[in-house]
């Protein structure tokens, strides 16, 4: 296995898919969506991390699965496939991925690494963020992005979790030297987060 370039990860969250799950944000994106909330994160210095160590971290976290976001996960498809396949050697593990690529585009790709990664995914939320189509619906940034069940794993949860929520939720994670926002924020949530972050920076976090 090799390395991943990441912004950060959290061991447990409840706002990025059904059940308590881990989440990781890879660093770097090939798109440039106007209004992208990950831009600041992608411009910060990334962490290079050994995939083997992440396999242990996420296996030990004992969550139902992981949500992978970014940045653009398909730019690091090979390492992410390694991550997921190796966690799955030890446990039954659900995988949700946010990507700026369209699903159709991914289905037609000749890139073996991307094809392999696509096969590991239970739910794909695809498409670039389009500011004018940001309708405030939960779990995605804009209405062109679709929540796609690629396997049967979350069939039951699709309606109860994804279709019943009517608002966006975020969590704020405070660590000794950093604070992170987790989830897809509403306009109000984003504003609140930016104010909190500004205050934290003033206080040296
Ligand atoms: S695809 Fe996602 S991370 Fe990349 S620029 Fe668009 S919103 Fe940002």
How do residues 131-174 score in pLDDT, each as one tens digit?
A: 999 988 888 899 999 999 999 999 999 888 888 777 888 888 88
Determine the topology of domain 3-168 in CATH: TIM Barrel (3.20.20)
Average pLDDT over the chain, rounded to whole?
Answer: 91
First-to-final CA distance of the chain? 33
In the chain, alpha helices (H): 39-43, 51-61, 77-88, 103-107, 112-119, 155-157, 187-202
Distance 29 CA to ligand 1 centre (A): 6
Distance 89 CA to ligand 1 centre (A): 31
> Does the C-beta of 166 come closer than 6 Å to ligand 1?
no
What is the reported pLDDT for 121? 98
Q: Is the pLDDT of residue 200 over 80?
A: no
Give the residue, by CA position, lying nearest to ligand 1 atom 8. 36
Return the ligand 1 atom nearest residue 129 CA.
7
Distance 46 CA to ligand 1 centre (A): 16
> Are 9 and 22 spatial neighbours (Cβ–Cβ below 8 Å)?
yes
| Structure confidence by residue, pLDDT tens digits, 29-42 | 999 999 998 887 77
Provide the token pair at 66: 């992981």
In 9-127, alpha helices (H): 39-43, 51-61, 77-88, 103-107, 112-119
> Does the C-beta of 36 come closer than 6 Å to ligand 1?
yes
Gyration radius of the chain's alpha carbons:
16
Angle at which helices 112-119 and 77-88 cross, to 10°: 30
d(CA 27, CA 38) in angstroms, rounded, equals 9
What are the domain boundaries of the chain?
Answer: 3-168
What is the reported pLDDT for 71? 93
Q: Which residue has better confidence, 48 or 197?
A: 48
What is the reported pLDDT for 177? 75
d(CA 205, CA 200) in angstroms, rounded, equals 5
Q: What residues contact residue 187 under an 8 Å CB cut-off, 6+ apart?
A: 136
Give the count of alpha carbons within 13 A of 31, CB side only: 21
Distance 31 CA to ligand 1 centre (A): 6
> Does the C-beta of 70 come closer than 6 Å to ligand 1?
yes
Name the 3-class secondary structure at 127. coil
Distance 18 CA to ligand 1 centre (A): 22
Phi, psi of 22 (to 5 degrees): -85, 165
> Does the C-beta of 29 come closer than 6 Å to ligand 1?
yes
Q: Is the pLDDT of residue 1 over 80?
A: no
């Amino acid at each position: 296995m090799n390395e991943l370039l990441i912004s950060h990860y959290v061991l447990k969250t409840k706002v990025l898919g059904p059940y308590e799950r881990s989440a990781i944000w890879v660093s770097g994106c090939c798109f440039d969506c106007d209004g992208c909330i990950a831009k600041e994160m992608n411009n910060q210095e990334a962490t290079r991390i050994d995939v083997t160590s992440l396999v242990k971290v996420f296996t030990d976290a004992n969550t139902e699965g992981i949500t992978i976001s970014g940045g653009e996960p398909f730019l690091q498809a090979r390492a992410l496939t390694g991550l997921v396949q190796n966690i799955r050697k030890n446990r039954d593990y659900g995988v949700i991925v946010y990507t700026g690529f369209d699903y159709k585009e991914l289905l037609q790709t000749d890139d073996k690494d991307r094809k392999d990664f696509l096969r590991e995914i239970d739910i794909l939320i695809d498409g670039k963020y389009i500011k004018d189509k940001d309708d405030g619906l939960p779990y995605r940034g804009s209405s062109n992005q679709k929540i796609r069940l690629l396997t049967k794993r979350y069939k039951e949860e699709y309606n109860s979790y994804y279709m019943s929520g009517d608002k966006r939720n975020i969590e704020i994670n405070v660590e000794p030297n950093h604070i992170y926002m987790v989830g897809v924020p509403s306009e109000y949530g984003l504003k609140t987060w930016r104010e909190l972050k500004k205050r934290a920076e003033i206080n040296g976090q």
